[in-house]
Amino acid sequence: MPFALTLVHLEEALQKPGCPICRLGDEAARRSVDGFLWENVNDPESRRPLQEAYGFCPEHTRLLVTTEMESSGVLLGVNLIYESLARQAMRDLQKGGSLQSAPRGVWGWLERFRRRPTTPPDAPTCPLCRVVEEVQANALITLLEDLTLHAEHARPLYLRADGVCLPHLRQALHLHTQRFPEATRFLREETARRLETLAAHMREYIRKQNWAYRDEAMSEEERVAWLRVLVFFTGYSAERLVRRIEPF
C-alpha cells in the first residue's frame, strides 16, 4: 500500500512543473510543519529532535513562520518552540558549550558523508530536512521501479514531464544503476537528449542577440530554453525561478 500511494503521488507530481522528486519533498515538508504546529507542538517527544538540532534549518524556519502566519496569524507555535530553544542555547553557552550535538544512529553516520567542508563534523541536522530526504529517496526508487515495471505507461508520462533535476539524477545513477539498469539508462539518455535540444535553442538565442541577426524571429522554444535548463539544474518550477527574491 505505501508503494501504491507513493506511485499515485509521484504520477501526480510528474504532471506538474519542476522536478517531481523535489516537489514531493517540498509537499512532505509542508505537511510535516502543518501537522507539527497543530498536533505536536506541545509534545516533548515530538520536539526532542528539534531540541537536539537547535531548531529547523533557515529554509524550514521560514516555512514554519509562513505556515503559521497564513493559517492563523498568531505565532503561538513559533514562540513556544523558539522560546524553549533560546533558553536551551543560553544554558549551553553559559556552560561553555559549542552548540553542537552529535547526530545519532544511521542519520549520524550518513551526515559524515553529506556535509560541506565548512560544516563542523558534529553539527546537528534539521529534523525536517531528514523527512524531506527520506521522502525524496523513496520517491526516486518508486520512479525507477515504475519506469522498469510499467515502462509502457511510465515512460510516456515522464517524457511529457519536466523530469528529474541534476541532484536526483546523480543520486539515481550513483546509487541505483545496478538495481534498475534499464530505468537509469532511460533517464541518462533522455536527459542527454533534452539537454542537447535545449543547448541548441540557447545557442540560437545567443546568436540572435547579435545585431547582424536582429531581423530573425525568435521562436518560443529559443525564448524559454534557458528556463527549462535551469529547471533541470535546480529542480524548481519555471514560475519559481522567475519569482522576485526579497532582499536579505
Contact 63, 53 (CB under 8 A): no
Query: How many C-beta atoms surround the C-beta of residue 7 within 10 A?
Result: 17
More confident residue, 243 or 17: 17
CB–CB of 131/29 below 8 Å? yes
Lowest-confidence segment of 39-53, 60-74, 113-127, 152-166 by average pLDDT: 113-127
Scanning 150-244, the segments in alpha helix (DSSP H) are 151-159, 166-175, 181-207, 220-234, 238-241
Task: For residues 28-34, give the mean pLDDT.
Answer: 95
Degrees (nearest 5) of the Cα angle 214, 239, 166?
Answer: 90
| Lookup: cell for 185 | 539508462
The separation between CA 20 and the C-alpha centre of its own chain, rounded to angstroms, equals: 9
C-alpha cell at 239: 514560475
Predicted confidence at residue 111, as pLDDT, reads 46
Q: Summarize pLDDT for 118-172 with one digit per residue, the tens.
A: 445 556 689 999 999 999 999 999 999 999 999 999 999 999 999 999 999 999 9
Say how far apart CA 155 and CA 78 lie, in whole Å: 43
Give me the residue label for grid cell 526579497.
246
The three three-digit cell numbers of residue 200, written as one number: 541548441
Residues 6+ apart with CB under 8 A from 127: 49, 50, 53, 56
Answer whether 41's CB lies under 8 Å from 81's CB: yes
Decide if 6 contacts 139 (C-beta within 8 A): yes
Residue-averaged pLDDT of the chain: 88
Q: Taking a C-beta distance cutoff of 8 angstroms, is the pair 232, 190 a contact?
A: no
* Residues 172, 138: Cα–Cα separation, whole Å: 11
- How far apart (Å, rounded) are the C-alpha atoms in residues 229 and 202? 9
Name the band, by pLDDT with cuts 50, 70 and 90, for residue 104.
Answer: very low
Q: In whole angstroms, what is the distance from residue 98 CA to residue 89 CA?
A: 9
Nearest one of 79, 90, 88, 86 to 42, comparing CA atoms = 79
Contact 137, 176 (CB under 8 A): no
C-alpha cell, 92: 549551553
Which amino acid makes up residue 50?
A: L
